[in-house]
Chain A
C-alpha cells in the first residue's frame, strides 16, 4: 500500500519537474531561441584560414574551385579522388612555358612553373563530390581548393549551390576550346616550329 502511494507521488513529482522545464523554455523563448529564418538569415560560417599561403585556402568545405591558370595538368588531384569526380584532359603545348593568347593559355604559373601541357578539359562533377578534401593536398601548385565562407572574396557564403538541371552541377574550369583549336594544338603545324 505504501508502495502504491509512493508510486503515485513519484509520478506526480517527476511529471511536474518535466513540465516545469518545458514551461521555463516556453517563457524564455526570446532568449533560448535557436531558429534562423533561413532565406533571410544565414548560418554563420566560422572564419579561419588554415595556414596555407593562399588566402583562399579556407577551412570551409563548400565547393571545389580551380585556378585554371595555375593548373599544370599533373592529374594528381584526379588520382587522389576516391569517387572519380574530377576529369582532366591535357594536350601537349607547342612550347613549354609560353602563353597562347588565342585560347587564353598562360604559360607560367604563379609559383613560376613552366607549363608543358594545355588543360583542354577540367570538369568536377559536384553531384559526385564527397567533400573529402583529398584532392587539395597533392596539388603542387595549390590551385585546386575548397572555397566558400566569409574569408573568400569569390564566393561569400556558399552552401546552397542548387541547380535546376543536374548537368549544371558539372563544373567546367578549363578555358573553352573549339574543335579547330583543339586539333590545331594536337597536330602542330610544322611552320610554327620554325
Chain B
C-alpha cells in the first residue's frame, strides 16, 4: 500500500494528478494515525504492567467495567485516553496563545510523518523513497522545534528549562545516531529502507541471520550506540532530563493539559516506535524472519517487524524502570566524549573490516 500504487490506481480513473496525490496521501495518513493511537494504547498498557511487575505490584486490575479497569486492567489505557480527552484544556493567560496551541501538533507531526518511510513488511510501506532513512532522521528532529515552542510559549520557568534541555539533548544525540547509521549505509550502499532490508536477507552458515548487527563487531557496537542515542532522542530514562519530574515538574509540558498534553504523550510513544523501527530496519533485518526458510510471507513479515520493534520498546521500558537519570552536563559528556568518538571510530572500523573481510 504505497502512495505510488494508489496514485497509479487513480491515474487509471482519470487525469487529475494533484488531487490524486492529495487523496493518496490522505488515504495513507488515516490508517497511520489510527495505528499510532492503537499502538500508544498498547504501549501505555505495557508500560503500566511491566513497571508494576518490576516493582512487585500488579498494576491496574479489575473484574469488570465501571469502577474497575476491566479484566487485568485492560481498559486502563482507554480510561487514561478518555480522561485526557475530556479534561479541561487550560491555556495560561500569560502564554503566547498561538504558539502554545501550535506546539503539540508540531511535535506530533514530527513523529507522524516519519512513519511514512517505515517498512512494515515487503509491501506495506507508505513511500519507499530512495533516501528513506535520511528522510526519517531529518523529519524526526522536527519535534525539537515544537518542544522549544511549547517551552517558550508556556511562559513558565520550568517549561523553559525543559525546552532548553531537550533542544540541547536532541540536537546533540542526532550526531552519534546518524554516525552509527552511516556505518550501516556504508555496508548496504543504499539509503532506501527496503534496500537496507534486502541487503540483510540470507543466512550465514545457514543458521545465523545475515543481519547487519551480526555482520561485523563494529556494527554490533553501532547498534547499541544508535539505540541509546535513540533513547535520548525520545527523552526516555536515563535521558529524561527534559521532563525530569523530580526537578522540572514536567519540563516543557508543565502548563499543558487535556488533549494537548495527550498529543505530547502520543508523540513520545510514536517517537519510541520510530527509533525502534529504524533500529530494526537498519540492524535487525527489518521484516526478515530470523528462522531460515519459513515464515517469510508478507503477513509474517509484519509480525516479525512488529515483534522486533516491540521488543526494543520493551527494553526502553525496562531501562526506564531500572535506572536513575543523568544530569544535563553528564548527558552531554556521554554524547560528545563517549558516543560520538566511538561512533566515529566505528565508521572506520566498519569500513576496514568490510574491505578486509567483506
A–B proximity contact (CB within 8 A): yes
Give the docked Cα–Cα distance between A23 and B315 (Å): 11
Is the beta-carbon distance between B55 and A25 smaller than 8 angstroms? yes
Main secondary structure of the interface of B (DSSP, over half): loop
Q: Does A194 contact B (CB under 8 A)?
A: no
B318 and A23 contacting across the interface, CB-CB below 8 Å:
yes
Q: Among the interface residues B53, B58, B338, which one has the most CB atoms of the partner chain A within 10 A? A: B53
Beyond A8-B338, A37-B61, is A29–B322 a contact (Cβ under 8 Å)? no
A101 within 8 A of B: no
In the complex, the answer to whether A22 meets B54 with C-beta atoms within 8 Å is: yes
- Say yes or no: B318 contacts A34, CB within 8 Å: no
| Interface pair A33/B57, CB less than 8 Å apart | yes
How long is the Cα–Cα vector from A19 to B237 in the complex, in angstroms?
13
Say whether B56 contacts A25, CB under 8 Å: yes
Cα distance A37–B63 when bound, in Å? 11
Are the CB atoms of A25 and B53 closer together than 8 Å? yes
**Residue of B whose beta carbon sits closest to that of A37:** B61
Contact residues in B for A40 (Cβ distance below 8 Å): 63
Main secondary structure of the interface of A (DSSP, over half): helix
The listed residue (A19, A32, A37) touching B56 by CB distance below 8 A is: A32
B323 within 8 A of A: yes
Q: Taking the complex as formed, is B145 at the interface, i.e. its CB lies under 8 A from any CB of chain A?
A: no
Tell me if A13 is interfacial: C-beta within 8 Å of chain B. no
Q: Which interface class (under 10, 10 to 19, 20 to 34, 35 or more) fits A?
A: 10 to 19
What A residues does B55 contact at CB under 8 A? 25
Are the CB atoms of A34 and B338 closer together than 8 Å?
Answer: no
Which listed residue, A15, A23, A26, A32, touches B323 by the CB 8 Å rule?
Answer: A15
For residue B321, CB closer than 8 A to chain A, the reply is yes
Shortest Cβ distance from B67 into chain A, in angstroms? 8
Q: How far is the CA of A21 from the CA of B63 in the complex (A)?
A: 31
Q: Which of B53, B61, B323 contacts A29 (CB 8 A)?
A: B53
Q: Check B57 against A26 for contact (C-beta < 8 Å).
A: no
Q: A32: which B residues are within 8 A, CB to CB?
A: 56
Tell me the residues in window 312-346 of chain B with beta carbons closer than 8 Å to chain A beta carbons: 318-319, 321-323, 338
Q: How many residues of B contact A (CB 8 A)?
A: 15
The chain A residue with its CB closest to the CB of B61 is: A37
Cβ-based interface call for B48 (8 A): no
Contacting residues, chain A, for B56 (C-beta < 8 A): 25, 29, 32-35
A22–B58 Cα distance when bound, in Å, is 14
Is A18 part of the binding interface, using a Cβ–Cβ cutoff of 8 Å? yes
| Nearest residue, chain B, Cβ from A32 | B56
- The answer to whether B50 has its CB under 8 Å from any CB of chain A is yes
Q: Which residue of B has the minimal Cβ distance to A17?
A: B322
CB distance from A146 to the nearest CB of B (A): 30
- From residue B294, how far is it (CB to closest CB) to chain A in Å? 29
Please name all residues of chain A whose beta carbon is closer than 8 Å to the beta carbon of B63 when the two chains form the complex. 40
Whether B323 and A34, one on each chain, are in contact in the complex, defined by CB atoms closer than 8 angstroms, is no
Chain A residue with the shortest CB-CB distance to B56: A32
Given contacts A26-B50, A26-B53, A29-B53, contact A19 B318 (CB under 8 A): yes
| Residues of A contacting B58 in the complex (Cβ-Cβ under 8 angstroms) | 29, 33, 35, 37
Given A19-B318, A23-B318, A26-B50: A35 and B323 within 8 A (CB)? no
The residues of A that contact B53 with a CB separation of less than 8 Å are: 25-26, 29
Residues in B with CB closer than 8 Å to A35 are 56-58, 61
Nearest-neighbour CB distance to chain A for B82, whole angstroms, equals 22
Contact A34:B54 (CB < 8 A) given known A18-B322, A18-B323: no
Do B54 and A26 touch across chains, with their CB atoms under 8 A apart?
yes
Contacts of B322 in A (CB 8 A): 15, 18-19, 21-22
The answer on a CB contact under 8 Å between B318 and A22 is yes
**Residues of B with C-beta under 8 A to A23:** 54, 318
Chain A residue with the shortest CB-CB distance to B62: A37
Measured between beta carbons, the chain B residues less than 8 angstroms from A34 are 56-57
* A76 CB to nearest B CB, Å: 45
Contacts of A22 in B (CB 8 A): 54, 318, 321-322
Question: Interface digits, B261-281 against A, CB 8 Å rule (1 contact, 0 not)?
Answer: 000000000000000000000
Specify which chain A residues have a CB less than 8 angstroms from the CB of B323 in the assembled complex.
15, 18
**Smallest CB–CB gap between A190 and chain B, Å?**
63
Q: Which residues of B contact A33 (CB under 8 A)?
A: 56-58
Closest to A15 in B: B323
A-B contact pairs, 12 of them (CB 8 A): A18-B322, A19-B319, A22-B54, A23-B54, A23-B318, A25-B54, A32-B56, A33-B56, A34-B57, A35-B58, A35-B61, A40-B63
Which B residues are closer than 8 A to A by beta carbons?
50, 53-58, 61, 63, 318-319, 321-323, 338
* Top-5 shortest CB links A-B: A22-B54, A26-B53, A29-B53, A35-B57, A35-B58
Please name 10 further chain A to chain B contacts, defined as beta carbons within 8 Å, in addition to the given A34-B56, A40-B63, sorted by A numbering.
Answer: A15-B322, A19-B322, A22-B321, A23-B54, A23-B318, A29-B53, A33-B56, A33-B57, A35-B61, A37-B58
